Amino acid sequence: MKTKHNFWQNSKCIGQYLHRFEIKEEYPEGVKEVCSICGMSKFFRIIDGKVNNSEYMSYHLRQSLPPFHPYYYHEREFNPLKSEIISPYL
Express each pLDDT in 47-90 by its tens digit. 887 778 888 888 988 888 888 888 887 787 655 455 555 555 44
Spatial CB neighbours of 9, under 8 Å, sequence gap ≥ 6? 3, 58
Q: How long a stretch of residues is the chain?
A: 90
For the chain, how are helix, strand and coil distributed in percent, rounded to 5? 25, 25, 50
Read off the amino acid at residue 42: K
What pTM, to 2 d.p., does this model score? Answer: 0.70
Instruction: Give the pLDDT band of residue 3 (cuts 50, 70, 90).
Output: very low
Domain ranges across the chain: 6-75
Helix (H) or strand (E) holding 54: helix 53-59
